[in-house]
Amino acid sequence: MVKAVIFDLWGTLALPYEQFDDRTKRKPNPVVELLNRIGIEMYEYEATRPFAYATMTKKRSVEASIRDLLDSMGINATEELVEDMVAIMKRIDSNDGVLYDDVIPTLKELQKISVKTAILSNAFYVDDLHRKNYLPKKWGMEKYIDYPVFSFDIGLLKPDPAAYLAVLERIGVSAEEAIFVDDFPLNVDAAKELGIKGLLIDRKNNHDYADKINSLEELSKFL
């Protein structure tokens, strides 16, 4: 029996950086800018792993995260580079994100049938952002999420098995009693290896994956 559904956040429940401006028609994605600034031209799992560990697993100043990142990659942390990257990082704001239309109806339905809900997200810790609350009030989602768990809270990143075990412990359910939904196949695979029912959400049908849904509306079939 399913007692809990654990969701990834970005790409699963919310689409980041969708505010527009007059000049570019789209607000620049600061994550892409950060990666470009240190010579990573596109997101690749292995290439961005040091970036993720340095910036997503601790509650500390943005500058400390950036210096740790550069050190882990063997890049000279000049004052100019650090200042540039700190400025980019401080533009990261969850309020830039847009919630998908199927999220609130799905969360309401889960609440109605007494299925617990959690978020397990690899996320940046930015001082101001954390003080404001990582789940923006404009989304209207807070009252439907029982356990919001972020990488900077637990010091762990998906797909580390310990991250999944940490959220299961927090919810108080076994692996067999949980469903995990993510838009990244590697993260879903890791959940499955622990005995969690893993579902890939593939909104644009980009992946050939056995256990996938194209919308959260399909989640009810697995409860």
What is the domain-level CATH number for residue 149? 3.40.50.1000
- Helices 62-72 & 79-89 angle (0-180, nearest 10): 120
Report cis status (omega within 30 of 0) of the bond before 148: no
Residues 124 and 161 in one domain: yes
> What pLDDT is attached to residue 115?
98
User: What is the rounded distance in angstroms from the CA atom of residue 155 to the CA atom of residue 133?
Assistant: 18
| Count of domains observed in the chain | 2
- Its domain, for residue 161, covers 4-15+97-222
Residues 37, 85 contacting (CB under 8 angstroms): yes
Residues 185 and 124 in one domain: yes
Higher-confidence residue of 144 and 69: namely: 144
| pTM of the predicted model as reported, rounded to 2 decimal places | 0.85
Average pLDDT over residues 95-119: 93
Residues 101 and 85 in one domain: no
Q: CA nearest 116: which of 2, 3, 29?
A: 3
Residues 144 and 43 in one domain: no
Residues 140 and 47 in one domain: no
- Please report, rounded to a whole number, the percentage of residues in the chain having pLDDT higher than 70: 85
Q: Amino acid identity of 63?
A: E
> What pLDDT is attached to residue 15?
83
Residues 17, 30 contacting (CB under 8 angstroms): yes
Residues 116 and 155 in one domain: yes
Residues 46 and 122 in one domain: no
For residue 168, pLDDT over 90 is answered with yes
Residues 45 and 133 in one domain: no
Last residue of one domain, picked from the residues 49, 71, 89: 89
> What pLDDT is attached to residue 94?
62
Pick from 96-100, 146-150, 196-200 the range whose average pLDDT is largest. Answer: 196-200
Burial 55-72 (b: 16+ CB within 10 A, else e): bbbeeeebeebbbbbbee
67 falls within a domain: yes
